[in-house]
Structure 1
Amino acid sequence: MAGTEAAGEETAQEVAAAREEAAGEDELFVLTAVLLTPAQFPAVLGDDFPEACGALGLVSDERGYGLVLGQDGTGARWTVVVDDVSLVAVAIASWDCGMEYDLSPPERSVVAALPGWPLALAVAAPGVPEPHDPELPDDSPDGLLLTPPDTEQWGPAQRRLGADEIARQWATWRDQLDEQSDSKTFEGSEGALHPQVRRVIDALHGYVANPPPVGRVRSAFASGEARTLRADGPGWSFVARTDDIAFLLLDDEPGEILPVGRGTELPGLLESLDKLAARPS
């Protein structure tokens, strides 16, 4: 009986150890998080909020989601989608202020756990293997694994990321322009416009007349009373300040940034776009 009892204790210990190991593999070591809302979403995912949700296989719920990026105990990359947007927003705000915040979404808020990361991260969780893609079953559908865009090849994702970077570093990009760039590129008359610029301006007027899918035009805080506007469309990305000029990035012009001066047409267009734009709550 003693031998049986000892064997039973050993078996129980093995089971407990196995459970602990499995729990460690399932634990998510959070590295960062981003919002997926009509006003704020990773540009790599699409031109607008419904398209961004579709890229992740999510329902386009305008209440939004939080995307939590991390590694499991084996080092595999995972993106956990949660519906507690406020929790993720608080974590992001805390990190931006240099404060620590333990982001641990409750299980009831988890909508999906997606393999891979949609964004490139330069950090890794300590104490676990290097970040790598999780092993998926052979019968997994194509496109299930999330991967960041190839930065070596120009395309829609890179174009949108470029526009986002200009929005974040507006003063830097603005200072690089020659004083005459405003009038050279956009005079407010059709004859003075670069054909591609005219096409985008016409498309933006179309957005004003017939509002596009939510998130296609977004408005964020800028200095003073100005707003920073971002808009996207087929083959183009637009970024502007309501009190200043605009910049265009085009799929057909890899790596090129076209400045659009205020002229007589742009101020009214920007005002109209700001009225229909999605804004952070």
Structure 2
Amino acid sequence: MAAPDDSEDQDALYVLTAALLTPARFPAALGDDYPESCAALGLDPYPGGYGLVIGQDSDGARWTVVVDDVSLVAVAIASWDCGMEYDLSPGERTVVSVLPGWPLDLAVAAPGLPAPHDPAPEPEPSRDGSGQDGPTAGTALRLPLAPPDTGTWGPPQRRLGADEIALHWTQWRDRTEAEDAEATGTAKRSEVAKEPEVTQDSEATGTAQGADAPGESSENGSPSPGEISHPGIRRVLGELRAYLHSDTAPPLGRVRSGFAPDGARMLRADGPGWSFVARTDDMAFVLLDEEPGEVLPVGRGSELPPLLKALDAMAVRPA
């Protein structure tokens, strides 16, 4: 982007990036669902969603312009992702709000401008519905937006971690298979030359003690839902099942379905203290607030496929 000169509009926004804030796609760092993410920016959860245009003014101050022209912002993001130039210039009539600060952490800056910085706090706008300053106007300051803290493990980092798994599914899948193979090999080496003990019960069932019974492990060696002993994973799967059978639907955007190769769907769900990511034709992963940095695999087994199918049916999808 070219540096501005003195003749240019001093109120111009020099766009650095943009993001979608819709029920099907919103910055994971902001919340577990669409209403929570909107609340982080002081916005009402409008079903049609918003576009976030993020940039600097001529003084270098950080600003976020909220627009209701979601399609325009989506086209800009798609163009940039393909390495194409796109001049994102929303019309004034599409502007819903202009917020000081940035809700996301950016490592870029507009050339030729002062270093990015927050603008001075401004008085909160009137909320009495009259269009005029209310009786308390000017007594409260609107603080600039700031990115959530992702430096330490917590909900923002946990949700971003789940998004990273969805984005690089194949690498995480291969890593899980390698760890399962290593664990299986270690277990086998520790039992070399040890004959399994055969009892009357095992003779009747055809299973030796110490060997896996049929159905006790999933295709990739990770525990399947029916055999899970981890209380955190059981809690997450229980809450997901409750979404399907409860009379009250989960908050909008709590369960989301996106594209995946080979006709599958990539599912993302978040809840109090947990994140869930799965492919409808494969396995799942769970991340928990109480287990920093841990990625817990859930094998496919026989119970996961119908759960994923039902979640996909109720999930919101990109338009």
TM-score w.r.t. structure 2 length?
Answer: 0.77
State the superposition RMSD in angstroms: 2.0
Larger helix proportion, structure 1 or 2? 1
The corresponding residue for 1:214 is: 252
Which string of whole-angstrom CA distances, capped at 9 and with x for unpartnered residues, describes residues 186-216 of structure 1? Answer: 23325x3311100000000011113311100
Point out the structure with max Rg over C-alpha: 2
Q: 1:142, CA displacement in angstroms?
A: 7.1
Which string of whole-angstrom CA distances, capped at 9 and with x for unpartnered residues, describes residues 77-129 of structure 1? Answer: 11100000111111111111111100000111100011111111111111111
C-alpha contact (below 8 Å) 2:19/2:77 kept by paired residues:
yes
Distance 2:139 2:76 in 1: 33
Which string of whole-angstrom CA distances, capped at 9 and with x for unpartnered residues, describes residues 15-61 of structure 1? Answer: xxxxx969643110000101111100001111111111111111111
Q: State yes or no: 1:103 paired with 2:88.
A: yes
Q: State yes or no: 1:245 paired with 2:283.
A: yes
Q: How many residues align?
A: 261
Distance 1:42 1:140, change over 3 A: farther
Distance 1:140 1:153, change over 3 A: farther
Say which SS state the counterpart of residue 25 (structure 1) adopts. Answer: coil
The corresponding residue for 2:162 is: 163
Amino acid at match of 1:235: G
The corresponding residue for 1:173 is: 172
Within-5 A mapping of 1:40-119: 40-119=25-104
Unaligned runs of 5+ in 1: 1-19
Distance 2:234 2:141 in 1: 38
Q: State yes or no: 1:201 paired with 2:237.
A: yes
Distance 1:143 1:195, change over 3 A: farther
Say which SS state the counterpart of residue 71 (structure 2) adopts. Answer: helix
2:270 corresponds to which of 202, 213, 232: 232
Q: 1:150, CA displacement in angstroms?
A: 2.2
Distance 1:279 1:132 in 2: 36
Q: State yes or no: 1:187 paired with 2:224.
A: yes
Q: 1:154, CA displacement in angstroms?
A: 1.0
Say which SS state the counterpart of residue 26 (structure 1) adopts. Answer: coil
